[in-house]
Structure formats: C-alpha cells, structure tokens
Amino acid sequence: MLPVSILLVVGCLIAPLHGVPPIWSQPEQVHVSYPGVHGSMVVTWTTFNETESVVEYNEWGGKLFTLVAKGNATTFVDGGSEKRRLFIHRVTLSGLKPGSAYVYHCGSEAGWSDIFYFTALNESLEWSPRFALFGDMGNENPQSLARLQKETQVGMYDVILHIGDFAYDMDEDNARIGDEFMRQVESIAAYVPYMTCPGNHEYRYNFSNYKNRFSMPGDTEGLWYSWDIGPAHIISFSTEVYFYPEFGKDLISKQYEWLKKDLEEASNPSKRQTRPWIITMGHRPMYCSNADKDDCTMFESIVRRSLEDLFYLYGVDLELWAHEHTYERLWPVYKYKVYNGSAEEPYVNPRAPVHIITGSAGCREKHDGFIPKPRDWSALRSTDYGYTRMQVLNSTHLYLEQVSDDQNGKVIDTMWLVKDRHATAAWV
Ligand SMILES: *[C@@H]1O[C@H](CO)[C@@H](O)[C@H](O)[C@H]1NC(C)=O
Ligand SMILES: *[C@@H]1O[C@H](CO)[C@@H](O)[C@H](O)[C@H]1NC(C)=O
Ligand SMILES: *[C@@H]1O[C@H](CO)[C@@H](O)[C@H](O)[C@H]1NC(C)=O
Ligand SMILES: *[C@@H]1O[C@H](CO)[C@@H](O)[C@H](O)[C@H]1NC(C)=O
Ligand SMILES: *[C@@H]1O[C@H](CO)[C@@H](O)[C@H](O)[C@H]1NC(C)=O
Ligand SMILES: *[C@@H]1O[C@H](CO)[C@@H](O)[C@H](O)[C@H]1NC(C)=O
Ligand SMILES: [Fe+2]
C-alpha cells in the first residue's frame, strides 16, 4: 500500500480537480444599515450577474417570508485593469416595528442568501443603544473579528461603527479583496447596522469601492451624513477630503458647509434637549501620540486646524477616530489645553470635547508605536489589538470601555462621560 500522501499526489496528476463555476446570480456580501428614517433598514448585497433585488422577511417567530420588499441594483465597475462588474443591490425595508426582530433573506428567483436576522432600532429617546466601534480592520489579520462575531450574534450590540480603513484594500486584485472583506464581515454586518466613514485605504478611484459597497443615510454616497439614535446625534464625515485634493478641492468646503448646517440644526435648543449627545466619527484624528509621521502627530495637524473650532463651537461631546493602529483616550482638550471637569473627575462636566482613537481592530499593517512621553492631554494608551464598546445610557451618562483581544477580551479601560449640560453652555 502506498502512503496516503503519495496516492493523493498521484491522484492529482491523473485527475486534476476543477472548481465548480460560481453561480453568478447567487447573492453574497449581505449587510444592513440604518438609512436614518424611522422604522426602516437597508439590506445591501452583491451578485455578479444582473438579477432582481428582493428581500423576503417577517417578524421573528412568525411564518417565514410573508413580507416582500423590492429595490434595485446599481452596476459597479471597478477601476482595475479587469474592469470587473458587480451588481450592488439595495432594498429598503420600511414600516418596521421599533425594537422588533426580523428574519430575512435576500436575492431573487435566481438565488437566495442564507437566512439572517436583525432588530429594528428602538426609536425611544429613552433608549440606551450599545455600540461596538473600531477602525482599521483588514482581510488579513483581522484579529478582533472572531470576538466581534460572537458578541454580535449573542446580541451585545445594536450598531457597529467602522471608522474607516477596510480590507487593505478593497480595490486590490481588481476589487476581489473588497469582495472577500465584505464576505468576512457578513457575520456581523448582516445582523446589526454597520455604519461607516471613509479612510485613506479607500481612496482608490475616488473612493469608488467605499461609495458603491455601503449604503449610508443621505445622498453623499456615505462620505458625510448624520443620524439619530436614542439620546444621540451621530455625525460621520470624511477626513480624507483634506488629503486627496485631486478628487476635488471643493469637497472640503462642501463638507464643511454641510457640517456647519448639521451642527446648527442638531444644537437648536429644542432638538438638543431631546438628543443632547453630539458624537462625531472621522478616520484621521486631530491629536495622537504615535511614533509615526501622521497628520495627528503634527502640532498644526490639518484635521485639527480645519475642524477643532467648529466642533468646539457647537459643543460636540465626543469625537471618535481611528487610523492609528492603537487605542488612545484623551483628557477633555481644546487647542492643546486640557479642560478637565475637575482634577478628581475629569470627565464629569468636562469643559471641552473628549477624543477617543480606536484603530486597532487588526490588519496586515499590524500595530503602530507610541512616542515615549506623551503630552499632558493623553490619558491612556494601549497597543493591544481590540475595539471599543460604547453605551449612550441616557441624557447625562455615556459609558465607554476598551476591549483587548490580545488579552482574551479583557476590558483594559473604562470611562463614564457625565454631562449635566451639553452644548457650549458646558464649556463655561
Ligand atoms: C454572468 O456573469 C459572468 C461573469 O461576469 C459573465 O461571464 C456571464 O456572461 C454573465 N451571464 C449572464 C447571463 O449575464
Ligand atoms: C430603486 O428603487 C427605489 C426603491 O424602490 C426607488 O425609489 C428608486 O427610484 C429606484 N431607482 C431606480 C434607478 O430605479
Ligand atoms: C425601547 O426602549 C425603551 C427605553 O429603554 C423601553 O422602555 C421600550 O420598552 C423599548 N421598546 C421596545 C419595543 O423594545
Ligand atoms: C470624486 O467624488 C466626489 C463625490 O462623489 C465628486 O464630487 C467628485 O467630482 C469626484 N472627483 C473626481 C475627480 O472625479
Ligand atoms: C486632568 O485630570 C487628570 C486625572 O485626574 C490628571 O491626571 C491631569 O493632570 C489633569 N490635567 C490637568 C491639566 O489638570
Ligand atoms: C442616567 O443614568 C445614570 C446611571 O444609571 C443615573 O445615575 C442618572 O441619574 C441617569 N440620568 C438621568 C437624567 O436619568
Ligand atoms: Fe488610515
């Protein structure tokens, strides 16, 4: 008898195995997002042949698939040499009952996805939504993904925020890396709204993979938008407009004007009373104490120079960032000066916005390092792979904690941000 290994080798030589051709009309890369309209959810997926765009769904526990919603597909032609064609399907489910769980599948008569479920967002102002948030997660070495999958599937999160830098990079290998990434995150993104902002790794072909693959609120292809959840107003924007002028210098002022208008509306006293928390998310931080040459390490950081005053003026409470492959929590800071609430309780009625940098989900670029002696605005730093959990408890209390994946899920940092006053009244 020949050893099995030799038999296998011989077998291969005699009868090479051919892969079965893919079924091009089969849906894949399923994910959901919140379009910013009460009682709705968008389901997005990909096929490689043109098909109809149908979601069949029903409330959890009911008869499967008695409800039907239809949408349509856009053709996404990748910018690479093969000019691959993808059909990106978008279907908006509306009239959902807040807080109810739904079971769905998507596709068409030419092929259906697996069965997934999501919970329609609770629309109460008293609701306390729970988030997982991180940036900089790639295909290769996505170290936090397994933990996030399990925690998402057991229902620990209502929303996931991915603060830029996906896949490394979505456009590579004629956008097959993008396909692979979207398949990899299906295990979380098909269950809870996956809300995004663009990072530098998306810049290729004018951010075309980012703009085509995600479905965010508003009409800016997900570059900048805002939405409300529980007692919070969340603003997502592109720091990349400052770094890729070749795609349009006018994008800087367009986004700035939009931010100003959105902040103005969000801080209208009657609105701010109902949704007191204003939280921003953008990829590249204003501050950081990393040992690289990134913008945030510069005293006159472009992002800081461009946006710090605006965010301060409208009393933004919390600013979430990524890009640095580390975790860093800052004391309340404005123009490099620390504005603790008090020495004992710096985050109780802080007199400036609080910044969190969380870009250590895991990617092929591994970690970034820190400079040995940070400035006095830096409160805590970690180079462990991991991600952040956040709960907006109510109008006065917001909780954040940092999970270390390297330390098997250990919580390595916690903070309560407590504010009796919001808006600029808080700064005095
Ligand atoms: C389906 O897509 C494949 C790959 O793009 C293409 O070769 C094929 O012609 C398409 N078939 C139909 C019926 O459109
Ligand atoms: C796509 O579907 C949506 C929802 O049914 C509809 O509002 C929109 O006009 C459609 N777009 C196109 C290009 O058909
Ligand atoms: C929504 O959240 C509020 C506040 O926590 C709670 O009282 C209510 O029961 C929730 N609604 C649903 C449908 O779960
Ligand atoms: C890049 O994309 C933005 C937003 O979609 C668009 O406004 C701009 O004109 C594009 N720039 C180029 C050079 O195509
Ligand atoms: C802010 O508060 C922290 C924690 O109490 C303290 O270590 C730090 O020195 C304070 N910074 C300033 C400038 O007061
Ligand atoms: C918010 O929750 C905290 C912690 O449970 C509680 O101490 C506080 O009184 C609550 N604030 C309001 C306005 O309900
Ligand atoms: Fe980045």
- Summarised one tens digit per residue, pLDDT across range 80-91 is 999 999 999 999
| Substitution site in 23, 46, 49 for ligand 1 pocket (most atoms within 8 Å of beta carbon) | 49
Residue nearest to atom 2 of ligand 1 (CA): 49
Locate the ligand 6 atom nearest the alpha carbon of residue 395 and give its number: 13
The percent of residues above 70 in pLDDT, for the chain, comes to 95
Residue nearest to atom 12 of ligand 1 (CA): 49
90-108 mean pLDDT: 98
Residue nearest to atom 11 of ligand 6 (CA): 396
Residue nearest to atom 10 of ligand 4 (CA): 247
What tokens appear for 192 in the block?
A: 């809870």
pLDDT band at 23 (very low <50, low <70, confident <90, very high): confident
Residue 145, classed as helix, strand or coil, is: helix
| Substitution site in 127, 273, 394 for ligand 6 pocket (most atoms within 8 Å of beta carbon) | 394
Residues in contact with ligand 4 (CB, 6 Å cut-off)? 206, 221, 247-248
Residue nearest to atom 1 of ligand 1 (CA): 49
pLDDT, averaged across the chain: 95
> What pTM does this model have?
0.94
**Distance in Å, CA 270 to ligand 3 centroid:** 22
pLDDT band at 428 (very low <50, low <70, confident <90, very high): confident
pLDDT band at 21 (very low <50, low <70, confident <90, very high): low
Distance CA(283)–CA(414), nearest Å, equals: 22
Task: Assess whether pLDDT exceeds 60 at residue 14.
Answer: no
Q: Give the ligand with the smallest distance to the CA of 93.
A: 2
What tokens appear for 98 in the block?
A: 């807040």
Q: Give the ligand with the smallest distance to the CA of 341.
A: 5
81-106 mean pLDDT: 98
**Helix (H), strand (E) at residue 8:** helix 4-14
Other Cβ atoms less than 10 A from the Cβ of 384: the count is 18
Single out the residue of 389, 328, 366 nearest to residue 148, CA to CA: 389
Q: What is the DSSP string of 224-244?
A: SEEEEETTEEEEE--GGGGT-
Domains in the chain (CATH in brackets) are 28-119 (2.60.40.380), 130-427 (3.60.21.10)
**Distance in Å, CA 166 to ligand 7 centroid:** 9
**Helix (H), strand (E) at residue 104:** strand 101-108
pLDDT band at 19 (very low <50, low <70, confident <90, very high): low
Q: What is the structure's pLDDT at 10?
A: 42
Contact status, residue 121 vs residue 128, Cβ threshold 8 Å = no
**Distance in Å, CA 377 to ligand 6 centroid:** 28
Other Cβ atoms less than 10 A from the Cβ of 114: the count is 12
| Substitution site in 24, 28, 52 for ligand 1 pocket (most atoms within 8 Å of beta carbon) | 24
Within 102-249, residue ranges assigned H as helices are 145-153, 172-184, 186-189, 204-213
Task: Assess whether pLDDT exceeds 60 at residue 424.
Answer: yes
pLDDT band at 5 (very low <50, low <70, confident <90, very high): very low
**Distance in Å, CA 245 to ligand 4 centroid:** 10
- Measured CA angle at 98 (ends 94, 103), to 5 deg: 65
Locate the ligand 3 atom nearest the alpha carbon of residue 123 and give its number: 1
Task: Assess whether pLDDT exceeds 50 at residue 220.
Answer: yes
Q: What is the structure's pLDDT at 356?
A: 98
96-101 mean pLDDT: 98
pLDDT digits (tens, 9 = 90+) for 119-140: 999 999 999 999 999 999 999 9
Distance CA(227)–CA(41), nearest Å, equals: 13
Distance CA(127)–CA(392), nearest Å, equals: 8
**Distance in Å, CA 207 to ligand 4 centroid:** 9
> Does residue 397 have its Cβ closer than 6 Å to ligand 6?
yes
Residues in contact with ligand 2 (CB, 6 Å cut-off)? 71-72
**Distance in Å, CA 248 to ligand 4 centroid:** 6
Bridge partner residues of 43 (DSSP): 32, 91
pLDDT band at 20 (very low <50, low <70, confident <90, very high): low
Task: Assess whether pLDDT exceeds 70 at residue 413.
Answer: yes
pLDDT digits (tens, 9 = 90+) for 367-388: 899 999 999 999 999 999 999 9
Q: Which amino acid is at 303?
A: V
